[in-house]
């Protein structure tokens, strides 16, 4: 790939162009994210998020069938956590790449890797090959998501950022409704592989629309006149350590024997210094301000995604739903997620953002705790749909708010690194909580739910409600911890300058 940094003779011209662009952006701010200045960029980057959303909803619906046909039900959680594990490394790389040379390169590379990973999973002959494809998808997703945050930081003034974050959330609405239905229908009539190999065609539209707009409005270094710093090899090494550490802990949780203590110890030894080096100081103790924003993102995303990943499998194997109906049980969540994100973007609610986030986490905890009620035969299956709609409303307020607060607390030249820290917290929590949930699921006999060939089509081969309950209930407790962390996202106004809470 050709380097994006300008030649020395172009530096002064690029600086003048950047100044002119900044004046244009400031003058055009009142027109909104769909005004003439921002329209192409907004539609383009929201389309990228749409692609990621469609993949997540469609793949989640097809996953139970894919795992069964590849004889990989015991590795079910790995199919999700592999994505998040590799994305951890890609997030740090993307943050440095975008800060030094602009977000265009990592965004283009990430979308390409995302499509390649889908093709690998769709053509896999074994569960481990399928997981490898998911890992490649994670590399692409990690590059893309951090680059998008840098685009928002550079191209949009502060007053428009809540609106574009709400647009990101809104882009999940259609995939949440159409994705499960389309994926379920394709899975039942054509086969699960077409769900994966068909999605890459969606790459063309975001590339054609987003990349030219990003090149005009957010390409190149943040300060074209400053010398481009080399990549921070220490941070990249720490990123590799965090990915390897998370992978080793997942492997140890999957094996669950005395020999697995060795990879578990090695994973912890890699993770601890990597987390301390890549996340803001004070994140582990929920220090006020940026550290708590980063921590909350991980707690919210990890608890919710770890629980949600098991919802389709629970409905298919324990209540006998088809893959289509199991996926549609989560469809309403896309609309309520967008509603929550829209609410947080209202200017009149800005003074109450902390309370909104606390309330959002309470809703998330309640939804996760209510979902396993369907393990009782007398409870209607629509209970999950109702609970998940409530949980997604809470997630919409919390996730968008953490993004807004992060950019507000970040200098322009730090947007990439801080965005990477936010996404690392998100991805690491997803990987570790999925690994913990998967280990608990397997320990209580969860792997046996797919033992019979027709388990997914005709219901469970046997009842294993405890295997699912041990996933959901601890995650509800983690979400309640997030409600406390949300009380600390704002810095103390009475603290002396330079002090830390």
User: What percent of the chain clears pLDDT 90, i.e. is strictly above it?
Assistant: 18
pLDDT digits (tens, 9 = 90+) for 450-477: 444 344 444 444 457 778 888 899 999 9
CB-count exposure of residue 109 (10 Å: 0-12, 13-18, 19+): buried
Cβ within 8 Å of residue 17, ≥6 positions away: none
Question: What is the model's pLDDT at position 319?
Answer: 83
Question: What is the model's pLDDT at position 149?
Answer: 81
The model's confidence at residue 15, banded by pLDDT at 50, 70 and 90, is: very low
The yes-or-no verdict on residue 23 having pLDDT over 70 is: no
- Per DSSP, the residues of 433-475 read HHHHHHHHHHHTTGGGGG-STTHHHH--SS--HHHHHHHHHHH
- Between 55-64, 163-172, 355-364, 457-466, the lowest mean confidence (pLDDT) is in 457-466
pLDDT digits (tens, 9 = 90+) for 331-384: 777 778 878 888 888 888 888 888 999 999 999 999 999 999 998 888 898 899
Question: Using the 8-state DSSP alphabet, how is residue 5 labeled?
Answer: S
Instruction: Quote the mean pLDDT of the chain.
Output: 78
Higher pLDDT, 195 or 370: 370
Contact of 479 with 357, CB cutoff 8 Å: no
The model's confidence at residue 30, banded by pLDDT at 50, 70 and 90, is: low
Question: What is the model's pLDDT at position 146?
Answer: 84
Question: What is the model's pLDDT at position 391?
Answer: 94
What is the SS3 string spanning 274-312? HHHHHCCCCCCCCCCCHHHHHHHHHHHHHHHHHHHCCHH
| Cα(202)–Cα(199) distance, integer angstroms | 6
Which range is most confident: 223-237, 261-275, 318-332? Answer: 261-275
pLDDT digits (tens, 9 = 90+) for 103-119: 888 888 888 898 899 99
Both structure tokens of 12: 């002064």
CA angle 465, 134, 261 (to 5 degrees): 65
pLDDT digits (tens, 9 = 90+) for 268-316: 898 888 888 888 899 989 899 899 999 999 999 999 988 988 888 888 8
Contact of 188 with 323, CB cutoff 8 Å: yes
Question: Using the 8-state DSSP alphabet, how is residue 126 labeled?
Answer: S
The yes-or-no verdict on residue 194 having pLDDT over 90 is: no
User: What percent of the chain clears pLDDT 70, i.e. is strictly above it?
Assistant: 82
């Amino acid at each position: 790939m050709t380097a994006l940094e300008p030649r020395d003779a172009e530096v002064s011209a690029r600086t003048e162009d950047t100044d002119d662009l900044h004046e244009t952006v400031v003058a055009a701010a009142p027109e909104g994210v769909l005004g003439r200045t921002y329209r192409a960029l907004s539609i383009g980057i929201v389309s990228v998020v749409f692609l990621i959303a469609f993949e997540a909803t469609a793949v989640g619906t097809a996953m139970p069938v894919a795992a069964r046909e590849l004889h990989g039900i015991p590795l079910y959680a790995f199919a999700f956590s592999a994505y998040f594990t590799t994305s951890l490394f890609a997030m740090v790389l993307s943050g440095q790449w975008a800060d030094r040379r602009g977000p265009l390169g990592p965004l283009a590379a990430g979308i390409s890797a995302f499509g390649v990973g889908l093709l690998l999973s769709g053509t896999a002959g074994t569960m481990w090959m399928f997981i490898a494809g998911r890992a490649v998808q994670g590399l692409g997703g990690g590059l893309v998501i951090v680059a998008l945050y840098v685009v928002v930081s550079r191209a949009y003034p502060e007053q428009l950022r809540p609106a574009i974050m709400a647009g990101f959330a809104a882009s999940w609405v259609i995939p949440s409704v159409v994705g499960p239905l389309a994926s379920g229908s394709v899975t039942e009539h054509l086969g699960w592989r077409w769900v994966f190999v068909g999605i890459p065609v969606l790459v063309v539209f975001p590339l054609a629309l987003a990349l030219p707009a990003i090149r005009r409005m957010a390409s190149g270094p943040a300060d074209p006149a400053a010398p481009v710093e080399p990549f921070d090899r220490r941070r990249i090494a720490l990123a590799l350590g965090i990915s390897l550490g998370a992978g080793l802990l997942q492997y140890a949780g999957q094996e669950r024997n005395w020999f697995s203590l060795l990879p578990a110890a090695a994973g912890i030894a890699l993770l601890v210094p990597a987390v301390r080096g890549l996340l803001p100081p004070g994140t582990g103790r929920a220090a006020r301000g940026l550290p708590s924003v980063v921590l909350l993102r991980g707690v919210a995303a990890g608890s919710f995604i770890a629980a949600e990943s098991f919802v389709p499998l629970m409905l298919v194997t324990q209540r006998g739903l088809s893959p289509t109906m199991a996926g549609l049980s989560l469809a309403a969540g896309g609309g309520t997620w967008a509603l929550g994100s829209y609410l947080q973007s209202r200017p009149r609610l800005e003074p109450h953002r902390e309370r909104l986030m606390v309330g959002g986490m309470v809703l998330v905890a309640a939804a996760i705790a209510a979902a396993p009620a369907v393990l009782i035969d007398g409870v209607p299956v629509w209970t999950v749909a109702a609970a998940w709609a409530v949980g997604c409303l809470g997630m919409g307020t919390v996730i968008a708010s953490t993004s807004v607060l992060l950019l507000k607390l970040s200098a322009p030249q730090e947007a990439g690194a801080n965005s990477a820290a936010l996404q690392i917290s998100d991805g690491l929590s997803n990987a570790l909580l999925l690994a913990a949930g998967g280990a608990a699921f397997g320990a209580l006999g969860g792997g046996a739910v797919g033992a019979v060939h027709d388990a997914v089509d005709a219901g469970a081969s046997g009842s294993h409600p405890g295997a699912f309950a041990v996933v959901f209930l601890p995650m509800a407790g983690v979400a309640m911890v997030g409600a406390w962390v949300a009380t600390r996202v704002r810095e103390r106004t009475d603290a002396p300058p330079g002090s830390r809470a």
